[in-house]
Amino acid sequence: MQTPTPLSRPGVPEQVAFDRKELGVILGLYGRMVAAGEWRDYGISHLRDYAVFAVFRRTAENPLYRIEKHPKLRNRQGMYAVFGIDGQVLKRGHDLRTVLRVLERKLIRPVD
Q: Is 81 helix (H, G, I), strand (E, B) or coil?
A: strand
Which is higher by pLDDT, 13 or 53?
53
41-86 pLDDT per residue, tens: 899 988 888 899 999 987 667 888 999 998 888 888 888 999 988 8
pLDDT at position 107 over 70: no
Question: How many C-beta neighbours within 10 Å does residue 39 have?
Answer: 20
Dihedral sign computed on CA atoms, order 87, 91, 28, 35: negative
Mean pLDDT within 98-102 = 90
pTM of the model: 0.77
Sheet holding 89-93, edge to edge: 41-46, 51-56, 65-69, 80-83, 89-93
